[in-house]
Amino acid sequence: MTPQQVRQVQESFKLVQPIADQAAALFYDRLFTLDPALRPLFKGDMKEQGRKLITMIGVVVAGLDRLETLVPAVQELGRRHKGYDVQPGHYQTVGEALIWTLEQGLGAAFTPAVREAWGVAYITLSAVMIEAAEGSAAKYETA
């Protein structure tokens, strides 16, 4: 990710925080619409799950400018998700739901450049999670 893309993700996420509960609900509704088979993977209170999601995204977004220190936490997240029976193919569906949710929540602020920045961030971090879940490790650096 370029420094500009990192800033775009971080600045746009600040706009999501005031609507965090609604964004989380939109995300999970979209996720389960895209792939209803994912619903059984979520066994707890969905409002609490939504809060955890937004908190986790916030931590990751805040750390994007220090990717080398963020990667170990993201790898651990990937290993944990494997334990929840998350499969590599699920990450694409999650990415689609995330981008759709951001588009809905940010409206005109979700410019093509912001969309691209979020896409790069998601592809980068989901690859780290998948590789960790599959037992391989790689080094990631910022551009």
Which residues are CB-contacts of 16 (< 8 A; sequence separation ≥ 6)? 23, 54, 102, 105, 106
CATH number at residue 36: 1.10.490.10
Per-residue pLDDT of the chain (143 residues; tens, 9 = 90+): 999 999 999 999 999 999 999 999 999 999 999 999 999 999 889 999 999 999 999 999 999 999 889 999 999 999 988 888 888 999 999 999 999 999 999 999 999 999 999 999 999 999 999 999 998 544 444 44
Residue 68 lies in a domain: yes
Residue 141 lies in a domain: no
Q: Write down the pLDDT at residue 136.
A: 52
Torsion of CA 87, 91, 93, 97, to 10 degrees: 140
- For Cα atoms 141, 57, 27, give the angle at the middle one, nearest 5 degrees: 130
Per the structure block, which two tokens stand in for 113?
């450049």
Residue 138 lies in a domain: no
**Residue 84 one-letter amino acid:** Y
Rounded CA-CA distance 116/127 in Å is: 16
Q: pTM for the full model?
A: 0.88
> How many domains would you assign to the chain?
1
Residue 107 belongs to what domain range? Answer: 3-133
Residue 139 lies in a domain: no
Per the structure block, which two tokens stand in for 27?
């995300």
Q: How far is CA 89 from CA 17, 43, 92, 130, 138, in A?
A: 28, 20, 6, 9, 20
